[in-house]
Structure 1
Amino acid sequence: MGLAKAIKRGASALLIGSMMTGLFTGCSATGENSGGKLVKIAVCVSDQTPAAQALTDVFKPMVEEATDGRYDIQIYNSGVLGSEKVTYDYTKSGIVEMCVVGTTMWSETPKMTIPDFPFLFDSVEHARVCYQGELGEYIAEDLESTQPLKLLSWYPNGARVFTSNKKLESLDDFNGQKLRMPNNPIHVKLAESLGANVVIMDMGEVFTALEQGVADGQDNPLATVKTEGWYEVQDYVYDTNHIIASLELFAGEEFWNSLSEEDQEAFEKASEAASDYAWDLYEEQLSDDKQFMKDNGLIVTELSDEDREAMKEKIQPVYDYLNAQYDWVDDVRKMVDDIKVE
């Protein structure tokens, strides 16, 4: 395992070097430039995720065809151009034209915390309708009024569930468990309110921490548990879907304003089609990911309606914290409650 990880890190370093050379010399990520204006998209997730697949299968060909090849869309997946915060800042400053990131900017744009609100949505389908509709427009308007960016479309970053190598089949089982959480006050307060002990660490440390017992469990989408190999060192899945997180496709303001109205329309249509494609893919993968966990010996427990309501009561301290920070939290929750899935 150690050798494989070392090889992977070495290969990643070489790839980062070649990508960064291409970034600053204008070379293509996948070969010779097609002749159109190079548009670099820095993507924080791997090429196996619905968002990345949608950019490759839908966004790139739609833009290039609609603009008669005036743009050469090159996609740099898996964070090879830098961390989420770095590529977000690159996009704001014009170093790269576009990026796909999560909610890394929440500290400078507080309404970007909304995708991390626990139990905000009834289901993945409900989250999709909200992000692609009124909620997404509400957040985009706030962000675009303060940042040099255009928020083009929303993508699934996964419905978070809890996993553990200790029994985790009910709310009482959280008591005393050591749960790895990201360094985000919402996530930390969520775990603490459930009775767990929080261990904060970066993603790259999680496998070893779970393997060695530094942490008993963690919370992430099932797809992440699968791709990161954590299912090898976990025995239980509590299918809570407590946070249905998002990814966003941004264009830098300088780049966006350089486009003609016709080309802006082409980018917007392609981004909307890619968003639909990604959400469709994600919804199709959910049951497969759950079956994968079962096939690998993990005990998967669904969250009952009764336990869902009990869990929402237990995590009220999260909303007490949010209400103390922001005066718009209850309005957002009401907005989302009023959005119905047709």
Structure 2
Amino acid sequence: MKKHVVNLIAVALGSLAISTVNAETITIKVANYFAAEHPQNVALKEKFKPLIEQKSQGALKVDIFENNKLGGEQQFYTGVRNGTIDVGLPGMIMQGDVPKMGIPEWPFLLRDFKHAKAVLLGPIGKEMAESLEQTHGVHVLAWSVNGFRMFSTSRQVANMQDFKGLRMRMPNSPVFVKLGQALGCNVSPMPLSEVFTAMEQKVVDGQENPIAVVRSSGFYEVQTNILETRHAFSPNVLIVSKKLWAKLSAEQKKIVEDAAKAYADYEWQLSENGYEDDKKFLMEKKMKFITPDANFRQQMEAAVQPIYEEYYAKYPWAKDMVAKIKATK
């Protein structure tokens, strides 16, 4: 009889322990707009999620919602700000309120992956992140990479004249709208989630993104040409809501921060190394790549200079920061 009672007590204590662990488990919802096969989601699934779950011994669980499953970029970014979404991976959509966040995407400013990484992972990136946290109250975990942007189109663009009247989808941010207009395009701002249908229905003639997006989003099904302009570099920023951050212990915060660094390191590597593979894949899908010669590139850079003059006049810090970025090695 005594043994039976002892066993019952043991079972009860075991059940209590299990329910206590379950009660303390925190599920972290991560939202982004990338397709499942994009390097961003590969890195989140292979580094961020398993590292957090393993190191926390199950106290933290990560659920990834890719491809706009929790809403488009603006919706999930707002969700992180108000705490309804825990972690988000937006682009620089916040630059209207936090202008410094837009600088990496200013045209023809960042030269290559090495330069971009030095800028974003150094003092300039830290200054940008601090500006974001102060203004929008989200905590920056890591800078990662979307890539160098180029134009995909349904007809060939090989010189400045070919831009004239081209119906081009651009992200709904001022610098991209201005860039498209400066080149001579008819700009149609729209979220990424609407782009495939717009091109399929011939509402627009093209769009611009890194070619990893062209591949992972299937744009090669409705586009025939890519102009390798590398006209802007688009980073992403992994951010966490203040609401979740306040819930975590110091040890859990360290686990999340370490996992974010591992994810970002891996994602930079995947993106840089994957360019030639993406290009080969798209060429096999019959996409034609056009590389601008020096004269064409100089003409594009000259066309966008008024954007810089406007920003220099508008933001007292802009000229100095651009100079620091150009000097970064």
User: Quick check: TM above 0.5?
Assistant: yes
User: What's the CA shift string for 1:110-143, capped at 9, x where partnerless?
Assistant: 2222232111200123212322222221111111
Distance in 1 (CA, whole Å) between partners of 2:202 and 2:158 is 19
Match of 2:98 among 104, 109, 113: 109
Alignment of 1:1-342 (within 5 A): 36-340=25-329
- AA partner of residue 70 (structure 2): L
TM-score by length of 2: 0.85
Per-residue CA deviation, residues 86-124 of structure 1 (Å, 9 max, x unaligned), is: 222222222222211112222222222223211120012
What is the aligned-residue RMSD (CA, Å)? 2.2
Q: Is the CA contact (8 Å cut-off) linking 1:189 and 1:317 kept in structure 2?
A: no
Deviates more, 1:316-325 or 1:233-242: 316-325
Q: Deviations over 1:201-253 (max 9, x none)?
A: 44344334434544322212212222333323323211011111011111112
Q: Gapped runs of 5+ residues in structure 1? A: 1-32
Distance in 1 between residues matched to 2:78 and 2:139, nearest whole Å: 13
Give aligned pairs, total: 308
Amino acid at match of 2:100: K
Query: Match of 2:14?
Result: none
Do 2:31 and 2:64's aligned partners in 1 also have CA atoms closer than 8 Å? yes
Contact conserved, 1:118 with 1:242, CA < 8 A, in 2? yes
Q: 1:208 to 1:56 in 2, by over 3 A?
A: closer
Q: TM-score, normalised by structure 1?
A: 0.82
TM-superposed CA distance for 1:72, in Å, is: 1.4
Task: Return the alpha-carbon distance in structure 1 between the equivalents of residues 133 and 194 of structure 2.
Answer: 34
Sequence identity percentage = 35
Unpaired segments of 5 or more residues in structure 2? 1-21
Query: Is the 1:169–1:236 Cα contact (8 Å) retained in structure 2?
Result: no
Which residue number in structure 2 is paired with residue 18 of structure 1? none
Distance 1:204 1:250, change over 3 A: closer
C-alpha distance 203-97 of structure 1, shift in aligned 2 (>3 A): closer
Is 1:189–1:318's contact at 8 Å kept on the other side of the alignment?
yes
Structure 1 Cα separation of the partners of residues 256 and 230 of structure 2: 32
CA contact (8 A) 2:95 2:102 kept: yes
**Change over 3 Å in CA distance of 1:323–1:289 after alignment to 2:** same
- On the 8 A contact 2:68/2:193 being kept in 1, the answer is no
* Distance in 2 separating the partners of 1:264 and 1:203: 32
